Amino acid sequence: MLKIDELKAEVKGEFFFQEELSKHNVKKVEALADIIIKPTGKKDLARLLALLDSSGYPHIVINEKGRVLFPDRRFHGAVVITNIKT
């Protein structure tokens, strides 16, 4: 089970709840996300993805230019927004 307090303790970044992706400069995607997470760097991104995977929490990683279609205009899970080059 995903615990937000644990994520915030383990991952440096910004956390937003129940927000439109357009408020975070995500182009061409109109959807409401349960959680938006913006990790500060590669290590935090890797740690975040490991925590999300181990919890089984649904998630997707996109950048600000992402072209993602959400069938019901909503993603039920965490949306990780990053411009970190991998």
CA-CA-CA-CA torsion sign (51, 57, 61, 64) = negative
Nearest-CA neighbor of 65 among 78, 83, 46?
A: 83
* Residue in the structure block whose two tokens are 């089984």: 56
Enumerate residue ranges in the chain where pLDDT < 70.
66-72, 86
Angstrom CA distances, 53 to 20, 31, 82, stand at: 23, 22, 17
* pLDDT (0 to 100) of residue 71: 56
| Percent share of the chain, pLDDT over 70 | 91
Domains of the chain: 4-81 (3.30.43.10)
Q: Is 2:52 a contact under the CB 8 Å cutoff?
A: yes
Nearest-CA neighbor of 52 among 77, 26, 86?
A: 77
Give all strands of the β-sheet with 59-62 in edge-to-edge order: 13-20, 32-39, 74-81, 59-62
